[in-house]
Structure 1
Amino acid sequence: MPAKDSASAPAARSRLRLSIGAAVVLGLVVLSAAVGLGIMRGQAQPTQTVQIDEAAGDDEVAVGGELYVHVLGQVTDPGLYVLEPSARVVDALAAAGGSLDDADLQAVNLARPLSDGEQLIVPAVGADPTDAEGTDPVGDGLIDLNNADQAELETLPGIGPAIGQRIIDWRETNGRFASVDDLLAVSGIGEKLLAGLRDLVRV
């Protein structure tokens, strides 16, 4: 009886090893099938591609501008352009493709800050220089603080070369004058001087 039990023990251990081995193999087969199915699903899954429209980005920059300037005259592409708030005449000409060969750039102040809604006219050589910039459609005889040059400013009472230059410097540093009262921020201009200028200037 003990001999019989000792003979059956190896057989039982062999069957146990076989069962474990079969279970491991079966587990590997199931795992491989699952991985393969996942890969196949991943390959079958459509991929969504998002394209960035560079042109749309450019449009957003344009819309974000604050100055609308109508450029006419001797430029490559006359038209309406939207520019940055700090833009100057030279920027408007660049936006319009540059000036033509017969443009009289000496009649245009390229460094002048632009104002919203203005019309900039670049004349041809020999044309009337008063038609150069079309920025004073009012015709009221008042001096525009945002466009006047040194010589124009010095025609105002109490404004000499020094204060005239300070007005221009303030304009270049801070941008446009929002109101005539902004002149009080210019060194050398007080309430009394402003009172004498109020009816002679505009913004």
Structure 2
Amino acid sequence: MLPTTVIAILLFFVIQAQMESASPTADLIQPLPTNESYTEQEETTEYIEDTTIYVEVKGAVHKPGVYELSEGNRVLTAIELAGGYLPSSNSKNINHAQRVEDEMVIYVPIEGEEVEELSSSPDQKSNLVNINKAEVAMLTTLPGIGPAKADAIIAYREDVGGFKEKQDLMKVTGIGQKTFEKLEPLITVK
């Protein structure tokens, strides 16, 4: 029994030594060169929303005029761009914290001038964009609507005779459910 065990152990070491010294017989796998002409490149277009707006400041300021602002700026910023108030101005009814909107007019009266007092919380309906009447400039103020989609909205309403309900906006090419969900609280058809 002992000689068989010794022979088995010797055979094990001999076989193991041969396996370690043997070179691999498999050929190395070379990667195939890729032909770029067959690879389809996915073209992506990144949408950059234009956040530039224009506000007109009139009345008792040093430099009345139209000023370029960014979306989210406040009335105070527009008045500062207009050089600030004249000594004769009356700014007590101006909401300096209100966010400015494109095409907004800020009028600063002089002391003693009677002006209609503006509500500090404007009616939500007045801020809605009427998709049956709005032109390209107003439509492009909506999120996700650039000049091309604004033109498509106008073309659709001219072809069909107007939008009967807000959901009809999804019939315009390029406006799907997700875009409509963002636009719905911002638009009207009246």
Question: TM-score, normalized by length of structure 2?
Answer: 0.37
Question: TM-score, normalized by length of structure 1?
Answer: 0.35
The structure that is helix-richer by fraction is 1
Greater relative contact order structure (CA < 8 Å, 6+ sep): 2
